[in-house]
Amino acid sequence: NAGVTQTPKFQVLKTGQSMTLQCAQDMNHEYMSWYRQDPGMGLRLIHYSVGAGITDQGEVPNGYNVSRSTTEDFPLRLLSAAPSQTSVYFCASSSGTQHNYQETQYFGPGTRLLVL
Amino acid sequence: GESVGLHLPTLSVQEGDNSIINCAYSNSASDYFIWYKQESGKGPQFIIDIRSNMDKRQGQRVTVLLNKTVKHLSLQIAATQPGDSAVYFCAEIQGDMRFGAGTRLTVKP
Q: What is the pLDDT of residues B8-61, one digit of tens each?
A: 899 999 999 999 999 999 889 888 999 999 999 999 999 999 999 999 999 999
C-alpha A63, offset from chain centre: 13
pLDDT at A98: 62
Judge residue B34's burial from the number of C-beta atoms within 10 Å of its C-beta, 0-12 exposed, 13-18 middle, 19 or more buried: buried
Which of B8, B32, B49 has the CB atom closest to A40's CB atom? B8
Cβ-defined contact of B44 to A43 (cutoff 8 Å)? yes
Residue A11, SS3 per DSSP: strand
CB-based contact (8 Å) between A39 and chain B?
A: yes
Please give the share of chain A, as a percent, with pLDDT higher than 90.
Answer: 85
Closest-CA residue of B relative to A40 is B6
Q: What is the pLDDT of residues B5-16, one digit of tens each?
A: 346 899 999 999
How many angstroms separate the CA of residue B23 from the nearest CA in chain A?
12
Please give the share of chain B, as a percent, with pLDDT higher than 90.
Answer: 79
φ, ψ for residue A85 (rounded to 5)? Answer: -95, 0
CB-based contact (8 Å) between A107 and chain B?
A: yes
Chosen for mutation from A41, A60, A104, A112 (greatest number of chain B CBs closer than 10 Å) is A41
Chain B CB contacts of A104 under 8 Å are 46, 49
How many angstroms separate the CA of residue A18 from the nearest CA in chain B?
24
Contact A88, A36 (CB under 8 A): yes
Residue A37 to residues A14, A99, B81, B98: CA-CA distances in angstroms? Answer: 20, 20, 26, 12
Chosen for mutation from B25, B50, B97, B103 (greatest number of chain A CBs closer than 10 Å) is B97
Does the pLDDT of residue B73 top 70, yes or no? yes
Contact B88, B102 (CB under 8 A): yes
Q: What is the pLDDT of residues A43-88, one digit of tens each?
A: 999 999 999 999 999 999 999 999 999 999 999 999 999 999 999 9
Judge residue B21's burial from the number of C-beta atoms within 10 Å of its C-beta, 0-12 exposed, 13-18 middle, 19 or more buried: buried
Spatial separation of the C-alpha atoms in residues A66 and A23, rounded to whole Å: 11
Which residue type occupies A103? E
Contact B38, B86 (CB under 8 A): yes
